[in-house]
Chains A and B, each alone.
Chain A
Amino acid sequence: MRSDTPVNQWEVSAFQVSLTPIAEAHQAQIRAWRNQPEIRQQMLASEEISEEQQQAWFKKTKYDPKQLHWVVHFRGRPIGVTNVKSLEMGKAASQATVLEPGLYIGEQAYQNNIIAFAPTLAMYDFCFEHFNVQQFRAIVKSSNTPAMHYNEKLGYQRVEEGELCVLELNVEDYRQHTKTIRQFLSRERKANTVKRKT
Protein backbone atom coordinates (compact mmCIF):
# COMPACT_ATOMS: atom_id res chain seq x y z
CA MET A 1 0.00 0.00 0.00
CA ARG A 2 1.77 3.11 -1.25
CA SER A 3 0.63 6.54 -2.37
CA ASP A 4 2.04 8.37 -5.38
CA THR A 5 1.90 11.65 -3.50
CA PRO A 6 2.76 12.61 0.10
CA VAL A 7 -0.04 11.29 2.28
CA ASN A 8 -0.17 13.79 5.09
CA GLN A 9 -1.76 17.01 3.89
CA TRP A 10 -3.40 17.95 7.18
CA GLU A 11 -2.28 20.90 9.29
CA VAL A 12 -3.90 21.00 12.72
CA SER A 13 -3.92 23.87 15.20
CA ALA A 14 -5.59 23.61 18.61
CA PHE A 15 -4.85 23.84 22.32
CA GLN A 16 -1.94 26.28 21.80
CA VAL A 17 0.01 23.95 19.49
CA SER A 18 0.16 23.37 15.76
CA LEU A 19 0.79 20.05 14.04
CA THR A 20 2.70 20.26 10.76
CA PRO A 21 3.19 17.25 8.48
CA ILE A 22 6.78 16.10 8.81
CA ALA A 23 9.06 17.28 6.04
CA GLU A 24 12.62 16.75 4.91
CA ALA A 25 13.69 19.82 6.86
CA HIS A 26 12.56 18.27 10.15
CA GLN A 27 14.54 15.06 9.87
CA ALA A 28 17.75 16.13 11.62
CA GLN A 29 15.79 17.50 14.57
CA ILE A 30 13.55 14.43 14.76
CA ARG A 31 16.56 12.13 14.72
CA ALA A 32 18.30 14.15 17.44
CA TRP A 33 15.21 13.92 19.66
CA ARG A 34 14.63 10.26 18.87
CA ASN A 35 18.23 9.38 19.77
CA GLN A 36 18.09 11.00 23.20
CA PRO A 37 18.69 8.12 25.65
CA GLU A 38 15.65 8.94 27.77
CA ILE A 39 13.39 8.85 24.68
CA ARG A 40 15.11 5.93 22.97
CA GLN A 41 14.85 3.64 25.98
CA GLN A 42 11.07 3.99 26.05
CA MET A 43 10.67 3.01 22.40
CA LEU A 44 9.81 -0.55 21.37
CA ALA A 45 12.82 -0.35 19.02
CA SER A 46 15.41 1.34 21.20
CA GLU A 47 18.56 1.28 19.06
CA GLU A 48 20.15 4.52 17.84
CA ILE A 49 18.97 5.74 14.46
CA SER A 50 21.60 6.61 11.84
CA GLU A 51 21.20 9.45 9.38
CA GLU A 52 20.68 6.92 6.59
CA GLN A 53 18.02 5.06 8.58
CA GLN A 54 16.26 8.33 9.31
CA GLN A 55 16.17 9.27 5.63
CA ALA A 56 14.97 5.82 4.62
CA TRP A 57 12.22 5.97 7.25
CA PHE A 58 11.13 9.41 6.07
CA LYS A 59 11.02 8.40 2.39
CA LYS A 60 8.91 5.35 3.27
CA THR A 61 6.48 7.02 5.66
CA LYS A 62 5.92 10.04 3.44
CA TYR A 63 4.06 7.87 0.94
CA ASP A 64 2.54 5.33 3.34
CA PRO A 65 -1.21 5.99 3.82
CA LYS A 66 -1.21 3.77 6.91
CA GLN A 67 0.71 6.30 8.95
CA LEU A 68 0.62 10.05 9.46
CA HIS A 69 3.34 11.98 11.25
CA TRP A 70 3.39 15.58 12.44
CA VAL A 71 5.93 17.88 14.05
CA VAL A 72 4.50 19.68 17.07
CA HIS A 73 5.11 23.43 17.33
CA PHE A 74 4.55 25.44 20.49
CA ARG A 75 5.23 29.17 20.72
CA GLY A 76 6.73 29.02 17.23
CA ARG A 77 9.27 26.30 18.02
CA PRO A 78 9.26 22.58 17.24
CA ILE A 79 9.02 20.61 20.49
CA GLY A 80 8.20 17.06 19.47
CA VAL A 81 6.58 14.58 17.14
CA THR A 82 3.21 12.86 17.10
CA ASN A 83 1.69 10.26 14.81
CA VAL A 84 -1.09 7.77 14.16
CA LYS A 85 -0.84 4.38 12.46
CA SER A 86 -3.58 2.21 11.05
CA LEU A 87 -3.89 -1.15 12.78
CA GLU A 88 -6.10 -2.60 10.06
CA MET A 89 -4.78 -4.51 7.08
CA GLY A 90 -5.07 -2.53 3.86
CA LYS A 91 -6.72 0.49 5.43
CA ALA A 92 -5.29 3.98 5.39
CA ALA A 93 -5.03 5.85 8.69
CA SER A 94 -7.90 8.05 7.62
CA GLN A 95 -10.12 4.98 6.99
CA ALA A 96 -9.16 2.65 9.83
CA THR A 97 -11.45 2.22 12.82
CA VAL A 98 -8.51 1.50 15.16
CA LEU A 99 -5.43 3.70 15.27
CA GLU A 100 -2.22 3.38 17.24
CA PRO A 101 -0.96 6.77 18.45
CA GLY A 102 2.60 7.87 19.10
CA LEU A 103 4.10 10.93 20.74
CA TYR A 104 7.36 12.16 22.09
CA ILE A 105 8.23 15.59 23.34
CA GLY A 106 11.86 16.19 22.43
CA GLU A 107 12.30 19.53 24.17
CA GLN A 108 13.04 18.80 27.80
CA ALA A 109 11.39 21.97 29.05
CA TYR A 110 8.03 20.61 27.96
CA GLN A 111 8.42 16.94 28.85
CA ASN A 112 5.90 16.08 31.58
CA ASN A 113 4.47 19.59 31.33
CA ILE A 114 0.72 19.98 30.92
CA ILE A 115 1.41 21.27 27.38
CA ALA A 116 2.46 17.70 26.50
CA PHE A 117 -1.26 16.87 26.43
CA ALA A 118 -1.95 19.51 23.78
CA PRO A 119 -0.66 17.66 20.68
CA THR A 120 -2.59 14.56 21.69
CA LEU A 121 -5.82 16.48 22.23
CA ALA A 122 -5.34 18.28 18.91
CA MET A 123 -4.58 15.08 17.01
CA TYR A 124 -7.25 12.89 18.64
CA ASP A 125 -9.93 15.55 18.19
CA PHE A 126 -8.94 15.89 14.55
CA CYS A 127 -8.96 12.13 13.96
CA PHE A 128 -12.28 11.55 15.72
CA GLU A 129 -13.83 14.40 13.76
CA HIS A 130 -12.41 13.82 10.29
CA PHE A 131 -11.39 10.14 10.10
CA ASN A 132 -13.23 6.85 10.64
CA VAL A 133 -11.45 6.01 13.88
CA GLN A 134 -13.58 4.56 16.67
CA GLN A 135 -10.82 3.54 19.01
CA PHE A 136 -7.17 4.29 19.81
CA ARG A 137 -4.97 1.44 20.90
CA ALA A 138 -1.64 2.20 22.58
CA ILE A 139 1.15 -0.26 23.28
CA VAL A 140 3.39 0.88 26.11
CA LYS A 141 6.28 -0.70 27.97
CA SER A 142 5.01 -1.45 31.48
CA SER A 143 8.23 0.10 32.78
CA ASN A 144 7.30 3.42 31.15
CA THR A 145 5.37 4.77 34.12
CA PRO A 146 5.02 8.35 32.82
CA ALA A 147 3.45 7.09 29.57
CA MET A 148 1.10 4.78 31.48
CA HIS A 149 -0.04 7.67 33.67
CA TYR A 150 -0.30 9.97 30.66
CA ASN A 151 -2.54 7.53 28.79
CA GLU A 152 -4.71 6.83 31.80
CA LYS A 153 -5.30 10.57 32.21
CA LEU A 154 -6.66 10.55 28.65
CA GLY A 155 -9.14 7.83 29.60
CA TYR A 156 -7.32 4.74 28.30
CA GLN A 157 -8.19 1.39 29.88
CA ARG A 158 -5.60 -1.37 30.21
CA VAL A 159 -6.75 -4.44 28.31
CA GLU A 160 -3.54 -6.51 28.34
CA GLU A 161 -0.86 -6.58 31.01
CA GLY A 162 2.70 -7.76 30.59
CA GLU A 163 6.10 -6.42 29.64
CA LEU A 164 4.14 -4.57 26.99
CA CYS A 165 0.75 -3.25 28.05
CA VAL A 166 -2.09 -2.70 25.62
CA LEU A 167 -4.43 0.18 26.37
CA GLU A 168 -7.59 1.16 24.54
CA LEU A 169 -9.57 4.37 24.35
CA ASN A 170 -12.98 5.12 22.89
CA VAL A 171 -14.36 8.55 22.13
CA GLU A 172 -16.75 8.66 25.10
CA ASP A 173 -14.05 7.89 27.67
CA TYR A 174 -11.70 10.29 25.92
CA ARG A 175 -14.13 13.21 26.06
CA GLN A 176 -15.11 12.47 29.64
CA HIS A 177 -11.55 12.21 30.96
CA THR A 178 -10.13 15.21 29.12
CA LYS A 179 -12.67 17.83 30.13
CA THR A 180 -10.40 19.53 32.65
CA ILE A 181 -7.23 19.36 30.56
CA ARG A 182 -8.90 20.80 27.47
CA GLN A 183 -10.48 23.55 29.56
CA PHE A 184 -7.06 24.57 30.90
CA LEU A 185 -5.42 24.41 27.47
CA SER A 186 -8.02 26.34 25.53
CA ARG A 187 -8.20 29.62 27.38
CA GLU A 188 -7.36 32.90 25.75
CA ARG A 189 -3.73 33.97 25.61
CA LYS A 190 -3.78 37.30 27.38
CA ALA A 191 -0.68 37.28 29.54
CA ASN A 192 -0.16 40.28 31.79
CA THR A 193 -3.83 41.09 32.00
CA VAL A 194 -5.86 40.85 35.13
CA LYS A 195 -8.89 38.59 34.97
CA ARG A 196 -11.14 38.08 37.92
CA LYS A 197 -13.64 35.25 37.80
CA THR A 198 -16.40 37.42 39.22
Chain B
Amino acid sequence: MNNQDKLRQAFVTALGVKPETVTDELQYNTIAEWDSTAHMVLIAELENVFDVMLDTDDIIDMSSVKHARLILQKYDIDFA
Protein backbone atom coordinates (compact mmCIF):
# COMPACT_ATOMS: atom_id res chain seq x y z
CA MET B 1 0.00 0.00 0.00
CA ASN B 2 1.53 3.33 -1.02
CA ASN B 3 1.23 6.48 1.04
CA GLN B 4 -1.69 7.83 -0.99
CA ASP B 5 -3.60 4.62 -0.27
CA LYS B 6 -2.59 4.81 3.41
CA LEU B 7 -3.87 8.38 3.55
CA ARG B 8 -7.21 7.42 2.01
CA GLN B 9 -7.54 4.43 4.33
CA ALA B 10 -6.77 6.58 7.36
CA PHE B 11 -9.67 8.86 6.45
CA VAL B 12 -11.95 5.87 5.84
CA THR B 13 -11.04 4.37 9.20
CA ALA B 14 -11.21 7.59 11.21
CA LEU B 15 -14.31 9.11 9.67
CA GLY B 16 -16.19 5.93 8.84
CA VAL B 17 -16.80 6.99 5.24
CA LYS B 18 -16.58 5.08 1.97
CA PRO B 19 -13.25 5.18 0.10
CA GLU B 20 -14.81 7.03 -2.84
CA THR B 21 -15.77 9.87 -0.47
CA VAL B 22 -12.11 10.56 0.25
CA THR B 23 -11.11 12.94 -2.53
CA ASP B 24 -8.75 15.91 -2.42
CA GLU B 25 -11.78 18.18 -2.27
CA LEU B 26 -13.24 16.64 0.88
CA GLN B 27 -13.20 19.37 3.54
CA TYR B 28 -13.49 19.49 7.30
CA ASN B 29 -17.01 20.16 8.55
CA THR B 30 -18.65 19.69 5.14
CA ILE B 31 -19.88 16.21 6.00
CA ALA B 32 -21.42 15.06 9.27
CA GLU B 33 -18.74 12.40 9.68
CA TRP B 34 -15.90 14.95 9.82
CA ASP B 35 -16.70 17.03 12.87
CA SER B 36 -14.30 18.15 15.59
CA THR B 37 -14.46 14.81 17.41
CA ALA B 38 -13.76 12.86 14.24
CA HIS B 39 -10.98 15.33 13.50
CA MET B 40 -9.18 14.24 16.66
CA VAL B 41 -9.66 10.59 15.77
CA LEU B 42 -8.32 11.35 12.30
CA ILE B 43 -5.23 13.08 13.68
CA ALA B 44 -4.52 10.11 15.94
CA GLU B 45 -4.97 7.73 12.99
CA LEU B 46 -2.66 9.75 10.71
CA GLU B 47 -0.01 9.95 13.43
CA ASN B 48 -0.21 6.21 13.93
CA VAL B 49 -0.19 5.27 10.25
CA PHE B 50 2.62 7.63 9.26
CA ASP B 51 4.54 7.52 12.55
CA VAL B 52 4.65 11.30 13.00
CA MET B 53 3.66 13.77 15.69
CA LEU B 54 1.91 16.77 14.18
CA ASP B 55 2.31 20.31 15.46
CA THR B 56 -0.78 21.95 16.93
CA ASP B 57 -0.79 24.45 14.05
CA ASP B 58 -0.99 21.59 11.58
CA ILE B 59 -3.79 19.92 13.53
CA ILE B 60 -5.75 23.16 13.46
CA ASP B 61 -5.03 23.86 9.79
CA MET B 62 -5.78 20.38 8.40
CA SER B 63 -8.93 21.45 6.62
CA SER B 64 -9.11 19.01 3.67
CA VAL B 65 -7.69 15.78 2.33
CA LYS B 66 -5.45 17.79 0.03
CA HIS B 67 -4.23 19.85 2.96
CA ALA B 68 -3.57 16.71 4.98
CA ARG B 69 -1.26 15.45 2.23
CA LEU B 70 0.57 18.79 2.03
CA ILE B 71 1.05 18.83 5.79
CA LEU B 72 2.32 15.25 5.87
CA GLN B 73 4.84 16.11 3.16
CA LYS B 74 6.41 18.54 5.63
CA TYR B 75 7.05 15.52 7.82
CA ASP B 76 8.94 13.73 5.05
CA ILE B 77 6.01 11.58 3.95
CA ASP B 78 6.41 11.05 0.21
CA PHE B 79 3.30 11.01 -1.98
CA ALA B 80 5.08 10.94 -5.35
Contact = CB atoms under 8 A, between A and B. Distances in A.
B45 interface: no
A187 B55 contact: yes
Interface residues of A, number: 27
A149 interface: yes
A195 B40 CA distance: 19
A181 B40 contact: yes
B37 to A, nearest CB: 6
Given A184-B40, A198-B51, A189 B60 contact: no
A145 to B, nearest CB: 10
Contacts of B47: 197
B59 A194 contact: no
B52 A189 contact: no
Interface of A is mostly: loop
A197 B76 CA distance: 13
9 contacts: A16-B60, A113-B29, A184-B43, A187-B59, A189-B57, A191-B57, A196-B53, A197-B52, A197-B53
Contacts of B43: 184
Interface string A104-119: 0000000011111100
B60 A195 contact: no
Interface of A: 16, 112-117, 149-150, 153, 180-181, 184-198
Interface string B40-80: 10011001000111111111100000000000001110000
For the side of the interface on B, what is the size category? 20 to 34
A149 B37 contact: yes
Interface centre among A187, A192, A193 (most CB of B within 10 A): A187
Contacts of B54: 187
Given A194-B74, A194-B76, A116 B36 contact: yes
B55 A188 contact: yes
B35 interface: yes
Contacts of A194: 74-76
Interface in B15-36: 28-29, 35-36
Contacts of B57: 189, 191
Contacts of A153: 36-37
A184 B59 contact: yes
A16 B56 contact: yes
B51 A184 contact: no
A112 B36 contact: yes
